[in-house]
């Protein structure tokens, strides 16, 4: 599809024709086909399953199961038994930390990164405090990539779990999950936060050999309020439950409680059927374009922007030469919140802050917030040039008078 035609398949741009949206790491714009799929489901189907044995619920169940199958195939899971619907990536990671509570004991160790998104740090930190676990941090080299040799050193016999982003949401580095699994070995659980990866790079859970993987729909052209936990089937069979209710039990009384087989043991209450159907349609949309085409398109725009703004005065690029859809930069003596305000006056929507990463300022050797530009399929070279011209000509406003500390914001 021609670049100038891409935005036509997204109703948001039809209704906001002057918007230059450069914040897809926060959330993606939803294409019309996904909106229509969800709307049609509400209009022609009953949005529940297995609560009444009639033809209406059976039709909905069929669509639900077919959608789960599409999701499983998208990440190359073995069966839908390895796919557990949640409300998003954050919910997935929290559920995992709660469910693994009884599998860890005092003195066990967890490996994390200091600059992981809060959603992939705080659940494990809370777990560590409850169980008196030790958290170790792997190092990151000056090229903003994980120091795998350091990871080998800190992994030991007490290490039980490592949780890591496939792509860092702030700097855009793609981490080698397969290599991490080989380093820590089969006895250490590898949990992957794939929120930023799922809409940009091909994910093959069999090849990665990760134990659990979490992602959400709203960063991959899908609806918000829907997410997925992938888990190896043998692990999910034994995983402790965190939710209980109708739909997940075989039988219970005061003496006995038996839950259903996978994946139904995790279906306490009515799942977000419409969200699953919308997510499956978003996957179909991605597959029709091609995930590699999306990746190359976004990375090319990132490198084009990097080339253009590196020539501007007082611009500091914080993640140079990183193959990614994300570019991070600052302007000398100007607070990023002021830059972001100026961009919005030109209908350019980006992101400023620390992006829910508490220690990114240490990693990037700066105590200042930054501007994050993140691309998706609907962006084009015109978006890049508009941003560059605005930065170039915005000097009258961006005078640095308000270069003070601002409150952190999450994204």
- Mind telling me the catalytic residues? 356
Instruction: Using alpha carbons only, give the angle 8, 200, 161 rounded to the nearest 5 degrees.
Output: 145
Give the list of residues 6+ apart from residue 216 with CB closer than 8 angstroms, or none.
88, 89, 90, 92, 195, 198, 222, 224, 226, 227, 228
Is residue 91 within 8 Å of residue 226, measured between CB atoms?
no
Dihedral of CA atoms 117, 118, 121, 124 in degrees, nearest 10, equals: -140
Rounded distance between C-alpha atoms, residue 220 and residue 325, angstroms: 13
3-state secondary structure of 14: helix
193: tokens are: 């936060």
**CA nearest to 161, candidates 135, 193, 129, 131:** 135
Rounded distance between C-alpha atoms, residue 318 and residue 308, angstroms: 15
392: exposed, middle or buried (C-beta count within 10 Å: 0-12, 13-18, 19+)?
A: middle
Rounded distance between C-alpha atoms, residue 352 and residue 408, angstroms: 9
Please state the separation of Cα 297 from the chain's center in Å: 19
Number of residues in the chain: 411
Rounded distance between C-alpha atoms, residue 113 and residue 93, angstroms: 15
Bridge partners of residue 146, in order along the sequence: 140
Preceding amide of 263 cis, omega within 30: yes
**Sheet of strand 370-374, all strands in order from the earlier edge strand to the far edge:** 315-317, 326-331, 370-374, 351-353
Rounded distance between C-alpha atoms, residue 337 and residue 97, angstroms: 34
Rounded distance between C-alpha atoms, residue 391 and residue 135, angstroms: 41
């Amino acid at each position: 599809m021609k670049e100038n035609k891409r935005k036509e398949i997204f109703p948001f741009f039809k209704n906001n024709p002057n918007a230059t949206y450069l914040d897809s790491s926060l959330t993606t714009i939803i294409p019309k086909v996904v909106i229509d799929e969800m709307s049609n489901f509400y209009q022609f189907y009953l949005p529940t399953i297995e609560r009444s044995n009639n033809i209406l619920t059976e039709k909905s169940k069929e669509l639900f199961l077919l959608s789960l199958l599409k999701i499983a195939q998208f990440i190359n899971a073995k069966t839908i038994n390895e796919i557990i619907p949640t409300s998003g990536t954050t919910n997935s990671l929290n559920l995992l930390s709660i469910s693994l509570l009884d599998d860890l004991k005092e003195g066990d160790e967890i490996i994390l990164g200091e600059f992981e998104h809060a959603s992939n740090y705080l659940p494990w930190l809370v777990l560590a405090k409850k169980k008196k676990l030790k958290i170790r941090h792997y190092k990151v080299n000056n090229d903003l990539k994980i120091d795998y040799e350091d990871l080998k050193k800190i992994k030991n016999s007490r290490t039980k779990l490592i949780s890591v982003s496939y792509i860092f949401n702030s700097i855009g580095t793609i981490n080698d999950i397969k290599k991490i699994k080989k380093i820590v070995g089969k006895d250490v659980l590898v949990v992957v936060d794939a929120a930023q990866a799922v809409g940009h790079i091909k994910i093959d859970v069999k090849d990665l050999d990760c134990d659990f993987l979490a992602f959400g729909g709203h960063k991959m052209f899908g609806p918000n309020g829907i997410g997925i936990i992938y888990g190896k089937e043998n692990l999910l069979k034994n995983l402790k439950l965190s939710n209980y209710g109708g739909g997940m039990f075989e039988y219970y009384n005061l003496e006995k409680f038996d839950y259903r087989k996978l994946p139904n043991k995790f279906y306490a209450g009515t799942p977000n059927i419409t969200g699953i159907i919308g997510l499956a349609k978003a996957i179909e949309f991605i597959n029709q374009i091609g995930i590699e085409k999306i990746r190359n398109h976004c990375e090319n725009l990132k490198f084009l922007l990097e080339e253009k703004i590196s020539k501007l005065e007082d611009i500091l690029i914080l993640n140079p030469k990183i193959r990614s859809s994300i570019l991070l930069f600052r302007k000398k003596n100007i607070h990023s919140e002021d830059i972001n305000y100026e961009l919005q006056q030109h209908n350019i929507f980006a992101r400023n802050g620390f992006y829910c990463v508490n220690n990114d300022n240490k990693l990037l050797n700066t105590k200042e917030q930054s501007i994050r530009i993140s691309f998706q399929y609907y962006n084009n070279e015109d978006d890049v040039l508009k941003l560059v011209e605005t930065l170039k000509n915005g000097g009258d406003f961006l005078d640095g008078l308000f270069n003070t500390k601002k409150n952190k914001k999450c994204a």
